[in-house]
Amino acid sequence: MKFPDGRVLYNNRPADESVEQRDAAITVRADDLRFVLTEVERRWSVDVRRVVAVGHSAGGATAAEAAQSDSRFRAALNMDGAFSSRVTRAGVPRPTLLLSGAWDFDNWVQWRGAQQTWGRHLAASGMGHYSFTDAPYFIEPAHLRERLPAPVFAELFGTVAPARAIEVQRTYVRAFLDRHLFGVPSPLLNRATPRFPEVSVRWSTR
């Protein structure tokens, strides 16, 4: 990254991060998110009762940690990201949704054990890690299916069609936001539905 004063900073993060290094990076990201919210509040008139932290992968971990440390975030939504150690130890004192692929990890089990407020873990079969982004739309133009080994491709991009992956995301993210910003309940957050047979409620509390 090149700054206006001419300084150039290069990515020097290790390829294999330790838990401590990963946690430190997430804390910096969460501080950045809090700073941005502070600046938005300072510059514009915003309704702080309508702010939710949402992110994918490391962004999802950032959303949870930001909501843990700053009550201005009314809720947190983590899309297929590992939680920081702070969150796995103490949970998030605000409603938190983990929307993931069909896999499960110790990190998520630890968060589920620590979460005391409203929480859900919804798992969608057929989704890859990048199914929670717009990356699947680049599969065909970039010939990724031919360039990657089948197991790697499935882990990254899943087997679900891009349009279906987007539909799952939009529907469940909206249901979560409606529930926790506007008080509109949705059965999608509590039980399976024939409309989305690939999505299961793996865990819930409250």
pLDDT for the residue numbered 172: 98
pLDDT value for 49: 83
- What is the average pLDDT score of the chain? 94
pLDDT for res 193: 96
Q: Is 94's pLDDT higher than 70?
A: yes
Task: Look up residue 133 and give its two tokens.
Answer: 């982004």
Evaluate whether residue 27 is within a structural domain. yes
Q: Indicate the number of domains in the chain.
A: 1
Output the pLDDT for position 12.
63
**126: pLDDT strictly greater than 90:** yes
Counting Cα atoms < 13 Å in the Cβ hemisphere of 53 gives: 34
| Residue 5 forms part of a structural domain | no
Domain containing 178 equals 19-205
107 pLDDT more than 90? yes
CATH number, domain at 140?
Answer: 3.40.50.1820
Q: State the pLDDT confidence band at 180, using cuts at 50, 70 and 90.
A: very high
Residue 83 lies in a domain: yes
Backbone angles phi and psi of 116, in degrees to 5: -105, -30
Determine the pLDDT at residue 150: 92
**Mean pLDDT in residue range 51-59:** 97
Judge whether residue 120 has pLDDT over 90: yes
Q: Is residue 53 part of a domain?
A: yes
Q: What pLDDT score does 16 carry?
A: 74
Q: Could you report the per-residue pLDDT of 137-161, keeping only the tens digit for each? A: 999 999 999 999 999 999 999 999 9
Provide the edge-to-edge strand list for the sheet that holds 52-56. Answer: 52-56, 75-79, 96-100, 119-124, 199-205
Sign of the dihedral through C-alpha 181, 187, 190, 194: negative
Predicted confidence (pLDDT) at residue 48 exceeds the cutoff of 90 = no
Does residue 14 belong to any structural domain of this protein?
A: no
In a domain, 47, yes or no: yes
Give pLDDT, residue 14: 64
Lowest mean pLDDT among 9-13, 87-91, 161-165, 173-177: 9-13
Structure confidence by residue, pLDDT tens digits, 5-47: 888 877 666 667 789 999 999 999 999 999 999 999 999 988 8
Residue 42 lies inside a defined structural domain of this protein:
yes
Cα–Cα distance measured from residue 126 to residue 139, given in angstroms and rounded to the nearest whole number: 15
Q: 72 lies in a domain? A: yes
Nearest-CA neighbor of 79 among 64, 95, 94? 64
